[in-house]
Amino acid sequence: MSSEAEQTSEDRRKYEFRKVIEDLKQYEGSGTQLVTIYIPEDKQISSVVEHVTQEHSEASNIKSKQTRTAVQDALTSIKDRLRYYDTFPPERGIVIFSGAIDAGGGQTDMVTKVLESPPDPIQSFRYHCDSEFLTEPLEEMLLDKGLFGLIVLDRREANVGWLKGKRVEPVKSASSLVPGKQRKGGQSAQRFARLRLEAIDNFYQEVAEMANELMVPKRHELDGILVGGPSPTKDEFLDGDYLHHELQDHVIGKFDVSYTDESGLYDLVDAASDALADQEVMKDKKVMEEFFENLHTGDLATYGFEPTRRNLVMGSVDRLLISEDLRNDVCVYECPNDHEEYEVIDSRKSTPKHTCGECGEAAEFQEREDVIEYLMNIAEQRGTETKFISTDFEKGEQLMDAFGGVAGLLRYSTGI
Ligand SMILES: [Zn+2]
């Protein structure tokens, strides 16, 4: 598979996860009876079964009969699902949600959902029983991910590492032999100052080497580099061009942090949160700017469901742009004269009747599908990349409000 195709199927997977999570978040149990289990890939299924069996027997102590039965039913259903797996869960782990949800009017519905191979590996085993399902760890995985290099330093020590999505990963550290500001007796002031500057220079070089070694091989995947430390250390370090020039170009900001040990890496991410948030929508912004430019000055842009669909089918769409807020279904109809017609409706509404736009005959309903999945299916077959655009900035909002949440950047003009 090409990396573009991999990217598309990853986006698709994320979209599918997002939809399931949206559903799960709406559910509520009338008591503490919704069970969520996060299972990392290296956890033996048999030990999970043991854990669930244990919880099942402990649940017999629950006072409310209704809650007790609900929890035990959920656990039984989870055990049933675990039978489908061999020794270990699939790659990156599984998450199981199970419980009796409030269906209104005093009724409950039993819901069990299994999500395999989430976008990120599950870090640790979690058993969670509450009136809501535990979806936050999965939601974090779905946030727009980035890879950022982190460097914190003062004249005494330095740490380098990664920010992967929301996770800080310390990698290497160094400490210096730079002498303090007080010279010892017998040393000339000049000589002391020179030695001290040399030691500082050496240390900056060492820090740069450490960062280069880690980050140069990843320079094409990097979304940016953050540098932190007290003044003037970080400024000296950056102004002195110690870093590999390609890394230097990736520096998106320098930030004041007081600690330069591992905890400094976390402080750096906190201090840079605004810059990181900007960076997150930066990619979306660029694509949308390209779209508007093409819309105003060229003919390599399309928007709205039907024109975009037709372009997609022709294979003329280079990038399909879909608003993250789009929640629509497409209904497909066919009239007696074989005209195929489409209607896009709110996902919560029922399927409308349709009159053929071409011949005016009553058209027969064929099928109904989530509009994003429908378009992504065609995109995948045509080698078109799909990009989800957030509504956290003006042009992203416009995609949703003014263009129906669907648009495309074209490879060539089609006049559609
Ligand atoms: Zn017709």
List the domain boundaries for the chain: 24-143, 147-180+196-271, 282-410
Query: Separation of 327 CA from ligand 1 center, angstroms?
Result: 28
Query: Separation of 374 CA from ligand 1 center, angstroms?
Result: 22
Q: Which two tokens stand for residue 113?
A: 């959902």
Query: Separation of 363 CA from ligand 1 center, angstroms?
Result: 7
- The residue count of the chain comes to 416
Phi and psi torsions of 239, nearest 5°: -70, -25
Over residues 105-119, mean pLDDT: 90
Instruction: Give the rounded percent of residues in the chain with a pLDDT score beyond 70.
Output: 96
Comparing 176 with 135, which gets the higher pLDDT? 135
Query: Separation of 180 CA from ligand 1 center, angstroms?
Result: 86
Mean pLDDT score of the chain, rounded to an integer?
A: 91
Query: Separation of 355 CA from ligand 1 center, angstroms?
Result: 8
pLDDT at 112 over 60: yes
Query: Separation of 342 CA from ligand 1 center, angstroms?
Result: 12
Residues 6+ apart with CB under 8 A from 249: none
**Domain spanning 147-180+196-271 has what CATH number?**
3.30.420.60
Phi and psi torsions of 133, nearest 5°: -75, 150
User: Are 210 and 165 spatial neighbours (Cβ–Cβ below 8 Å)?
Assistant: no
pLDDT at 339 over 50: yes
Q: What angle do CA 172, 150, 202 make, to 5 degrees?
A: 60
Top CATH class, 24-143: alpha beta
Q: What angle do CA 92, 8, 320 make, to 5 degrees?
A: 150
Query: Separation of 339 CA from ligand 1 center, angstroms?
Result: 4
Query: Separation of 307 CA from ligand 1 center, angstroms?
Result: 18
Of the listed ranges 32-36, 98-102, 140-144, 408-412, the one predicted with least confidence? 140-144
The fold of 282-410 is: 60s Ribosomal Protein L30; Chain: A; (3.30.1330)
Relative orientation angle of helices 273-297 and 262-271, to the nearest 10 degrees: 40
Task: For residue 79, give Cα distances in angstroms to 25, 47, 135, 399.
Answer: 23, 11, 20, 45
Of the listed ranges 171-185, 241-255, 304-318, 330-344, the one predicted with least confidence? 171-185
Provide DSSP, 84-113: T--SS-STT-EEEEEEEEEEETTEEEEEEE
pLDDT value for 230: 93
